[in-house]
Amino acid sequence: MADGTLPPVLTSSHPIGGLTPLRMTGVRLVRKGQVLLNIEDLTIGSAGVTVLLGPNGAGKSLLLRVADGLVRPDAGAVTWGGLAPDGTVRRRIGFVFQQPVLLRRSVRANLKFAMGISGLWDRRKADRALEDAGLAGLGDRPARVLSGGERQRLALARALVLDPEVLLLDEPTASLDPAAVAAVEGMIGRAVARGLKVVLVTHDIGQARRLADEVIFLHRGQITEQAAARLFFADPRSAAAKAYLSGLLIP
Amino acid sequence: MQDFGAAFRLAGHLLVSGDPDLLEIVARSLAVSLGAVLVACLIGLPLGALIGFLRFPGRRAIVVFLNALMGLPPVVIGLLVYMMLSRAGPLGPLGLLYTPTAMVIAQAVLVTPLVAALARQTVETLAAEYDEYFQSLAVPWHAALGALLWDGRSALVTVALAGFGRAIAEVGAVIIVGGNIDHLTRVMTTAIALETSKGDLALALALGMVLILLSVGVNAAVMGVRSRAVEAGHG
């Protein structure tokens, strides 16, 4: 991953003809006269971790939502392996939000609901997912009384237990302490090692350095740079990315 | 003041001794109001949940209308139900006027908007919270609605209790459609009104005490449900 080597080839049970690459062409989103997103051409491949990096308000989270079909652009096309992001496609994509949306139920019941929707409920598999998330023994606890780190790991486990082909993560470690960040990153790392494609939004440069195989830098709703992580961090080409990496405050 | 003191003592005696007339009125009041709340919940909960969950043209107007219905005076509802059930009304042939069933109908009409409006609010708040997650999982609408009702169950129980509180304390509608007939349609509130007008304060006070106890009980139940929900992380 961050050392420049790509993770192993996909080992998931999904058939060939999967959802990657993600392609966006001519995607444009305007609200109240302000251009929030303007993506001329974007392709995200099938391997490793792609990090969407940029300052607050750059359009990173919005791009992720447009990619998942949660927000419909005013213009342009979004496809996953040639398919539009409709409900069927969305069920093959995992999405973890910055503020995890947990049902007012027990930890295990949260997994049960997600798996039940896809007709995949399997208690042993759910318990294995909780174990992987470091939540073994908390299955019967109400999800909403968990700590911030536990909540985010539960949200991640709930997404991973569905065996998604792609995992979209919207700042999953924002407002978590270093230990909680390490636990979440550990889960992401293990999932990637199993061959899962991850698209991660962050404005944490350190996290991007640790996890990214590829970086897409956004500024004011536009992609200013897309490069392999090593190249990006060694020699960013766009002025905005240079300023951002050097710690300057960019508007 | 001496009369008041005597009335309180007599009221206490009626309660402690389990006066048959008093118990009959209390039992009828509970039966009518619980029946009305049951009907109101069967109609109001799904109706409110659907309005809170679905997005359709004119929804905002319906919400405003529903909220306005919550404030309808019971006597107006009593009058409307009376006109429906009276011999010349569309439901006249059913012969329900001045029966406990008529009182259940009137209270159900009174309470249903309250239940629907509060259920709408509960489900709408929860739906907004769950919206993106449900979309990302492509949850079918009926499964989403079921999940919202289940996860909002604590709040919905308090909605039902609020409905019961309104029904049991109401006098205007039931006195019009029930007629306050002894041993048939007399309930606590109508009996209090009658006995007070007759100057027989003891029975009125005894029934008033039962009403206050019920009110305290309902509020305690609401608080209990809420605190349990918060403790369980469901609030």
Contact between chains at A88 and B138 (C-beta distance less than 8 A): yes
Interface test with A, best of B135, B136, B141 (most A CBs within 10 A): B136
pLDDT of the residue at B16: 87
Burial class (CB in 10 A: 0-12, 13-18, 19+), A246: exposed
pLDDT of the residue at B206: 85
Q: How confident is the model at residue A250 (pLDDT cuts 50, 70, 90)?
A: low
Interval A97-102 mean pLDDT: 93
Res. B58: pLDDT tops 80: yes
pLDDT of the residue at B129: 94
Q: What pLDDT digit, counting tens, does each position of B113-155 carry?
A: 999 999 999 999 999 999 999 999 999 999 999 999 999 988 9
Residue of B nearest to A66 (CA): B136
Res. A17: pLDDT tops 70: no
CA-to-CA distance for A52 and A20, rounded, in angstroms?
17
pLDDT of the residue at B234: 61
pLDDT of the residue at B233: 62
Res. B9: pLDDT tops 90: no
Residue of A nearest to B135 (CA): A70
Q: What pLDDT digit, counting tens, does each position of B153-194 carry?
A: 889 999 999 999 999 999 999 999 999 999 999 999 999 999
Interval A236-244 mean pLDDT: 92
List chain B residues with CB under 8 Å of A142.
232-234
**What percent of chain B has a predicted confidence (pLDDT) above 90?**
69
List chain A residues with CB under 8 Å of B133.
95, 97, 101
Considering only residues A14 and A83, tell me which one the structure prediction assigns the higher pLDDT: A83
pLDDT of the residue at A4: 42
Instruction: Reduce the secondary structure of chain B to three states and give it as a string.
Output: CHHHHHHHHHHHHHHHHCCHHHHHHHHHHHHHHHHHHHHHHHHHHHHHHHHHHCCCCCHHHHHHHHHHHCCCCHHHHHHHHHHHHCCCCCCHHHCCCCCHHHHHHHHHHHHHHHHHHHHHHHHHHHHHHHHHHHHHCCCCHHHHHHHHHHHCHHHHHHHHHHHHHHHHCCCHHHHHHHCCCCCCCCCHHHHHHHHHHHCCHHHHHHHHHHHHHHHHHHHHHHHHHHHHHHHCCCC
pLDDT of the residue at B96: 96
Cα–Cα distances (Å) from B153 to A42, A241, B49, B234, in that order, read: 45, 49, 12, 9
List chain A residues with CB under 8 Å of B142.
none
Q: What pLDDT digit, counting tens, does each position of A191-211 carry?
A: 999 999 999 999 899 999 999
List chain A residues with CB under 8 Å of B140.
117
Interval B73-92 mean pLDDT: 95
pLDDT of the residue at A47: 81
List chain B residues with CB under 8 Å of A105.
151, 234
pLDDT of the residue at B8: 82
pLDDT of the residue at A7: 39
Indicate the helix (H) or strand (E) that contains A118.
none
Res. B74: pLDDT tops 50: yes
Residue A143 touches partner B, C-beta closer than 8 Å: yes
Res. A11: pLDDT tops 50: no
ipTM: 0.87
The number of C-beta contacts closer than 8 angstroms across A and B is 48
| Mean pLDDT rounded to a whole number for chain B | 91
**What percent of chain A has a predicted confidence (pLDDT) above 70?**
92
Res. A3: pLDDT tops 50: no
Considering only residues B19 and B101, tell me which one the structure prediction assigns the higher pLDDT: B101
Contact between chains at A144 and B143 (C-beta distance less than 8 A): no
Of A68, A91, A101, the CB nearest to B129: A101
Of B133, B135, B233, the CB nearest to A104: B233
Indicate the helix (H) or strand (E) that contains A150.
helix A148-160
Residue of B nearest to A100 (CA): B133
Q: What pLDDT digit, counting tens, does each position of A24-44 carry?
A: 999 999 999 999 999 999 999
Of the candidates A230, A194, A226, A196, the residue with the CA atom closest to the CA atom of residue A212: A230
Residue of A nearest to B128 (CA): A101
Highest mean pLDDT among B12-21, B90-99, B201-210: B90-99
Q: What pLDDT digit, counting tens, does each position of A63-77 carry?
A: 999 999 999 999 999
Of B126, B136, B147, the CB nearest to A113: B147
Q: Tell me the nearest-neighbour CA distance from B134 into chain A, angstroms.
A: 9
Which segment of A105-114, B3-12, B83-92, B211-220 scores lowest on mean pLDDT? Answer: B3-12
Structural domains of chain B, ranges and CATH numbers in brackets:
4-234 (1.10.3720.10)
Res. B4: pLDDT tops 80: no
Residue of A nearest to B137 (CA): A91
| Mean pLDDT rounded to a whole number for chain A | 90
Res. B232: pLDDT tops 80: no
Would the pTM of this model clear 0.95, i.e. be above it?
Answer: no
CA-to-CA distance for B93 and B28, rounded, in angstroms?
25
pLDDT of the residue at A10: 36
Q: Tell me the nearest-neighbour CA distance from A194 into chain B, angstroms.
A: 22
Q: Tell me the nearest-neighbour CA distance from A71 into chain B, angstroms.
A: 10
Q: What pLDDT digit, counting tens, does each position of A155-193 carry?
A: 999 999 999 999 999 999 998 999 999 999 999 999 999
